[in-house]
A and B are shown apart, each in its own frame.
Chain A
Amino acid sequence: MLQVSLYRYNPETDEAPYMQDFSVDTSGRDLMVLDVLELIKADYDGSVTYRRSCREGVCGSDGLNMNGKNGLACITPLSESVKGDKLVIRPLPGLPVIRDLVVDMSLFYAQYEKVQPYLQNPTPAPAIERLQSPEERAQLDGLYECILCACCSTSCPSFWWNPDRFVGPAGLLQAYRFLADSRDTATEARLDKLDDPFSVFRCHGIQNCVNVCPKGLNPTKAIGHIRTMLLNRAT
């Protein structure tokens, strides 16, 4: 039997959050953590609340903290997450909890919005498309794949303490995705908005973001590239 400890909080009925324990029969199967949550919801307590959608690591809905490490519940097998026979599931840290495992991601999205994550190019659009060489296109690899699950930003202490001022690893990865795009012409304006003591430079390079990214991306490296662009521009 798998011992699951689940973070529970319903602001309409609970004065404070608490942990609820479940003994879940997995029949020895190496299920994904999301499957365990589905089992609990179906067989033990239908009021357990969490986000989920695609259940294959594409939509980024079920970012959770499992035994202390952020990840997507749908692609995290028990064999990777369980210690002993214990699995502690909490919501993503640092964001306000709406209910149980569901967090309010407004601050996360506000930072994402801040980096203007869309192509900016005022020149007239060509008839078909703006072309890139294979090398220019390759610059975007490792950047465009982000699914905005927030696992990285909510594992970052700098984002915990300053979620309103530090853009966070997810937002900065997207900031660099457009700084690196040969078709984007707003590079200077984008860099202007990032050159303050908080937006980029709150990153101290501890690489929690790299450690937890379920897509294997490297926001710390992207942040390093942004720093280099700022430095090259100023010197």
Chain B
Amino acid sequence: MVTSVTSFSRTGLSDWLIQRVTSLVLLAYFIVIAYQLLGSVDYTSWRLLFDQTWMKVFTLMAALSLAAHSWIGLWSVFTDYLTERMLGPKGNVIRLLCQVGVSLALVGYVMWVIVIIWS
């Protein structure tokens, strides 16, 4: 067994399942948003939509799903291309720095969503 301390859930199966479940949440969210955009959109209707608790919860779910989905996807990309095999001895350091950057950005985005939606 190959171990990896930086993968989202430490096991391949959980990462794989989480990525698929989060993709379904995101798909559902984008369908709801697309449906809203197809109707008449103005500030009032948009505000009314996001004032509803279900939409706030749904948006938070989508933001968390996006963060988890992105982390798993980018973790795969980073462990493909930003490795010692590809970049030489500094590969692991570069990958860890990128992973720290991505994790900070994703936490920031989620916090930003919470502030916008719940404030």
Contacts and interface: CB of A to CB of B under 8 A. Distances in A.
Contacts, number: 57
B38 interface: no
Contacts of B11: 195-197
Contacts of A193: 1
Nearest to A198: B2
Interface stretch (A15-23, A65-73, A123-131, A158-166): A158-166
A116 to B, nearest CB: 13
Given A161-B80, A162-B79, A162-B80, A227 B16 contact: yes
Nearest to A233: B13
B90 interface: no
Contacts of B2: 165, 196-199
Q: Is the interface of B mostly helix, strand, loop or mixed?
A: helix
B83 A198 contact: no
Interface in A190-229: 192-202, 204, 227
B17 interface: yes
Contacts of B13: 195, 201, 227, 230-231, 234
Interface of B: 1-4, 7, 10-13, 15-17, 75-76, 79-81, 83, 85-86
27 contacts: A161-B80, A161-B83, A162-B85, A164-B85, A165-B2, A195-B1, A195-B12, A196-B1, A196-B3, A196-B4, A197-B4, A197-B7, A197-B11, A197-B75, A198-B2, A198-B4, A198-B79, A199-B1, A199-B2, A199-B12, A200-B12, A201-B12, A202-B76, A227-B16, A230-B13, A231-B17, A234-B13
